[in-house]
């Protein structure tokens, strides 16, 4: 059964390049607690990344895409698809992806489209790109997961809703820095978190977002993929899961048999928050910054509503040299300018002026 469901294209694919982007502003979780709970209660993370006044999913996607292009060492016009997954597209109607494609020089002979599936819109774009390249329709496709996530002031999500993401150029396995050995997607109708049309902030089903949503989907997708690929947790040097807070990915990793050191490199949520569609993907970039040729990596995303994409990856000999062409993800994590709640409120448009 497992063999029939695993996704594998006719032509093997991989990542020709990858790039991250995280804005420099940081809002400490204790600052949110200071405003809303008198400083009391547990904090889900240390701090979250906040986009500046002149940043949005378009500008941030361009930053990450340029980093990916530098590592792929590629003529941008050879990219035949630019796909951006996000739940913070600046426009409700008008693509993010056309602006990104234009800015990096991929237009006009290209596909361009925006993807939406809560926090797994970016990995959904990777799945589509695998099919696009794996079928021979194109040699290169760009898949981006990027967000400037929304959290209602005072809501539990305000502590974690961060900004950032990553771009991956999918291409033939031969010249990849990391080969995609197999993937698997798992989806059900599970309403744990949503934002209705024309609403500013999302709603969520409290503890329902845990076991029946996040844990069940990630666990099932990961177990299925590992079984189909005849692997267990110990076969992977690294693993990265969607990171809505610090507790969830740590717990799901443990339940799947992973040790803390296998997830440490990709666990960025304590210092940048939940970057939604960018979350698992930006964690993967941080792993690729340190992985050695031959290392196997498991990535499993999670999108509310709900579904998970699982990927079995293998770092190639080309990785150590090519990754030098763009900034390390940790350099973005360390580049921090702390802001207070008032500045955050101004940057994120929480003060309604008219």
Partner 1 sequence: MPVGEHWDLSLRHLGLEAMSAASADSGGLRPQALYVANMLAPVLSGQSHLGALLADFAGLRGIEASTIEASGASGGVAVRQAYLALASGAIDVALVLGVEKVTDKTSGQVQAALATATDSEYEAVQGVTPSTQAALLMQRYLYEHGAPKDSMAGFSLTAHQNAVTNPNAMFRKAIRREQYAKAPIVSEPLNTFDVAPLADGAAALVLARAAALPEGHDRPWVEITGSAVATCALAVHDRSDPLHLIAASQSAEAALMQADLSLGDIGLFELHDSFSIFAALSLEAAGFAARGAGWKLAQNGDISLAGRIPIATFGGSKARGDPGAATGIYQLAEATLQLEGRANENQVTDASIAMTQCLGGSGATASTHILRRAE
- Residue 233 backbone phi and psi in degrees, to 5: -55, -35
Which span sits near partner 1 by CB under 8 A: 40-48, 57-65, 137-145, 252-260? 40-48
What is the phi/psi pair of residue 59, to 5°? -65, -40
From the candidates 89, 204, 217, 242, give the one annotated as an active-site residue: 242
Cα-based distances in Å from 135 to 47, 132, 336: 42, 6, 42
Active site residue 3: no
54 binds partner 1 (CB under 8 A): no
Cβ 22 to partner 1 shortest distance, Å:
31
Stretch that binds partner 1, among 38-46, 158-166, 193-201, 313-321 (CB under 8 A): 38-46
Q: Where do the DSSP E strands lie in 76-216? A: 79-85, 111-115, 140-148, 163-172, 178-190, 193-194, 203-204
* Pair type for strands 140-148 and 47-50: unpaired
Q: Is 242 a catalytic residue?
A: yes
Minimum gap (Å) between residue 206 Cβ and partner 1: 5
Least separation in angstroms between residue 251's CB and partner 1 is 15
Residues in the chain: 354
Catalytic residue among 55, 87, 124, 223: 87
Nearer to partner 1, 191 or 349 (CB): 191
Nearest residue to 193 (alpha-carbon basis) of 183, 179, 207: 207
Strand order in the sheet with 296-300: 111-115, 79-85, 140-148, 163-172, 13-21, 178-190, 305-315, 296-300, 238-241
Among 1, 4, 10, 40, binds partner 1 (CB under 8 A): 40
CB of 43 to partner 1, least distance (A): 12
Span near partner 1 by CB under 8 A; candidates 39-47, 65-73, 245-253, 333-341: 39-47
Reference 330, options 276, 277, 288; nearest CA is 288
Catalytic residue among 55, 119, 124, 178: 119
Active site residue 119: yes
Per-residue CA distances from 217 to 55, 186, 187 (Å)? 32, 7, 8
d(CA 197, CA 194): 10
User: How many residues make contact with partner 1 (CB under 8 A)?
Assistant: 9
Structural tokens at position 273: 């928050």
Comparing CB distances to partner 1, the nearer of 205 and 270 is 205
Minimum CB distance to partner 1, residue 212 (Å): 5
Distances (CA, A) of 16 to 57, 133, 182, 184, 281: 22, 12, 16, 20, 15
Label the pairing between strands 203-204 and 79-85: unpaired
Instruction: Give the footprint of partner 1 on residues 188-217 (CB under 8 A).
Output: 205-208, 211-212
Which listed range, 16-24, 34-42, 267-275, 321-329, lies at the site for partner 1 (CB under 8 A)?
34-42
Answer whether 148's CB lies under 8 Å from 141's CB: no
For the window 212-251, what string marks contact with partner 1 as x by the rule CB under 8 A? x---------------------------------------
Contact residues for partner 1, defined by CB under 8 A? 40-42, 205-208, 211-212
- Catalytically active residues are 87, 119, 242
């Amino acid at each position: 059964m497992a063999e029939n469901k695993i996704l594998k294209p006719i032509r093997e694919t991989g990542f020709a390049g990858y790039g991250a982007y995280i804005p420099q502003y940081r809002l400490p979780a204790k600052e949110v607690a200071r405003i809303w709970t008198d400083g009391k209660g547990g904090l889900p993370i240390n701090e979250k990344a906040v986009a500046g006044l002149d940043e949005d999913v378009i500008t941030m996607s361009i930053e990450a895409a340029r980093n990916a292009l530098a590592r792929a060492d590629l003529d941008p016009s050879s990219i035949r698809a630019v796909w951006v997954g996000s739940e913070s597209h600046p426009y409700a109607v008008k693509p993010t992806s056309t602006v990104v494609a234009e800015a990096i020089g991929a237009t006009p002979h290209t596909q361009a489209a925006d993807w939406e599936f809560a926090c797994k819109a970016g990995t959904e774009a990777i799945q589509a790109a695998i099919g696009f390249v794996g079928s021979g329709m194109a040699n290169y496709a760009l898949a981006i997961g990027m967000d400037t996530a929304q959290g209602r002031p005072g809501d539990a999500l305000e502590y974690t809703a961060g900004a950032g993401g990553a771009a991956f150029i999918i291409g033939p396995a031969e010249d990849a820095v990391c080969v995609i050995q197999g993937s698997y997607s798992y989806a059900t109708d599970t309403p744990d978190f949503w934002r209705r049309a024309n609403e500013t902030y999302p709603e969520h089903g409290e503890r329902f977002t845990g076991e029946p949503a996040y844990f069940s989907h990630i666990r099932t997708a990961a177990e299925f993929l590992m079984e189909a690929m005849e692997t267990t947790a110990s076969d992977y040097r690294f693993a990265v899961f969607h990171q809505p807070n610090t507790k969830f990915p740590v717990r799901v990793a443990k339940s799947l048999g992973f040790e803390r050191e296998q997830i440490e490199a990709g666990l960025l949520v304590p210092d940048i928050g939940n970057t939604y569609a960018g979350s698992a993907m930006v964690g993967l970039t941080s792993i690729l910054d340190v992985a050695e040729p031959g290392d196997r990596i498991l990535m499993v995303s999670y999108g509310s509503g709900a579904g998970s994409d699982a990927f079995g990856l293998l770092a190639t000999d080309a990785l150590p040299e090519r990754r030098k062409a763009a900034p390390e993800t940790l350099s973005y994590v360390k580049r921090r300018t702390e802001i207070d709640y008032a500045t955050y409120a101004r940057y994120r448009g929480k003060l309604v002026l008219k």
